[in-house]
Amino acid sequence: MKYDFLIVGAGFAGSVMAERIASQLNKKVLIVEKRNHIGGNAYDEYDEHGILVHKYGPHIFHTNSKMVFDYISQFTEWRFYEHKVLAKIKDELYPIPINRITINKLYNKNFQSAYEVKNYFEKVREKRYPIKNSEDIIINQVGVDLFEKFFKYYTQKQWSLEPRELSAQVCGRIPVRLNDDCRYFTDKYQYMPKEGYTKMFERMLKHNNIEVILNTDYKKIIEDIEFNKMIYTGPIDYFFDYRFGKLPYRSIRFEFENLGVENFQESAVINYVEEMVQYTRVTEYKYLSGQKSNSTTISYEYTEKEGEPYYPVPTDINRELFLRYKLETQKIKNVIFCGRLAEYQYYNMDQAAANSLKKFRELLNDGK
């Protein structure tokens, strides 16, 4: 069988590309996925207790892009959901992102207005200029004590690096608030797919022009398949057989547990920001799905160096290595590199989708 496109990886990046190519160009697509399921890291499934869990950790859909939201909405209905996260210090829970409630509770203050909180940050912050890394960006806003309490150890655990070794983009994902807004995200669209991500991906890929092969590394079959163009969404260093050395990706070990209680913790996610607790966060999945049940399923996250690649590690040195690989991609004409692993970018799901939609438009323009 001859295909127009071979797509490596059935996550957001690969699936959006496949859907567009099949439905808009009427071209034949083969997706090769090495896992035993579609959906990439957004994959979810019902566990043996009937709770919808995310196999690769909590995935909350949020975007400011109407274009992306409208596009994804073709494949799912939504459940309104605004994500909240608490950080645990000693036996107390505090809103994260840091906001007025966090400051009042932590320092026993009674700030009533954003103005007072702003003044407080002005007093405790340490000016850093230029902002070069993840330590600078937080200390420049809220000073050393809040940095050490909420960011230093969580970041060490998550990345096995000091915040000052990581791009400002990492801790810069977390805003600092002057008000009482306890939501993790403030995007215009914040929802969970009503029947889960996997169902959404199934609808996306249900097309006569799309064929999916699971449990297969593309390198095992590439010699046996005829195709015109490849879209590659796996790790970029693997594509080039680690020619310049391995690019670090951070992995996570998830430990799932079902408990015979209706409810385990006070919010969907609790971040363990202290050094002595080994895991980074605990997720209680019922908050995400809105399910009612007598039992509840939670997951603990332990980050690890080896294992499935989940996060690119944004440091200067890794970026340099990535750019060497990127230069190689420019020498290859019939492969499009796309997604979190292939572009070594800390994309959220909406960004991965937006990026694939952009790459699809470029593909259209190239064809003209």
Q: How far apart are CA 331 and CA 345, in angstroms?
A: 21
Q: Which residue has the tokens 């196999």?
A: 55
Q: Confirm or reject binding of residue 34 to ligand FAD (CB under 6 A).
A: yes
Q: How far is the CB of 85 from ligand UDP (least distance, A)?
A: 7
Q: How far is the CB of 141 from ligand UDP (least distance, A)?
A: 13
Q: How far apart are CA 77 and CA 194, in angstroms?
A: 5
What DSSP designation does 90 have?
Answer: T
- Among the listed residues 3, 5, 7, 12, the single contact to ligand FAD using CB under 6 A: 12
Stretch touching ligand UDP by CB under 6 A, among 5-13, 169-177, 230-238, 350-358 = 169-177
Cis preceding linkage at 97, omega within 30: yes
Q: How far apart are CA 104 and CA 96, in angstroms?
A: 13
Q: Confirm or reject binding of residue 283 to ligand FAD (CB under 6 A).
A: no
Contacted by 347, from ligand FAD, ligand UDP, none: CB < 5 to 8 Å by type: ligand FAD
Nearer to ligand UDP, 94 or 322 (CB): 94
Q: How far apart are CA 26 and CA 171, in angstroms?
A: 42
Q: How far is the CB of 111 from ligand FAD (least distance, A)?
A: 30
- Among the listed residues 158, 167, 190, 198, the single contact to ligand UDP using CB under 6 A: 158
Q: How far apart are CA 81 and CA 62, in angstroms?
A: 10
DSSP per-residue string spanning 119-156: HHHHHH----SS--SHHHHHHHHHHHHHIIIIIIHHHH
Q: Are 13 and 7 in contact (CB under 8 A)?
A: no
Contacted by 154, from ligand UDP, ligand FAD, none: CB < 5 to 8 Å by type: ligand UDP
What residues make contact with ligand FAD under the rule CB under 6 A?
A: 8-14, 32-35, 40-42, 56-60, 217-218, 233-234, 238, 252, 310-311, 339-341, 347-350, 352
Q: Which residues bind ligand UDP (CB under 6 A)?
A: 87, 96, 150-151, 154-155, 158, 170-171, 173-174, 271, 273
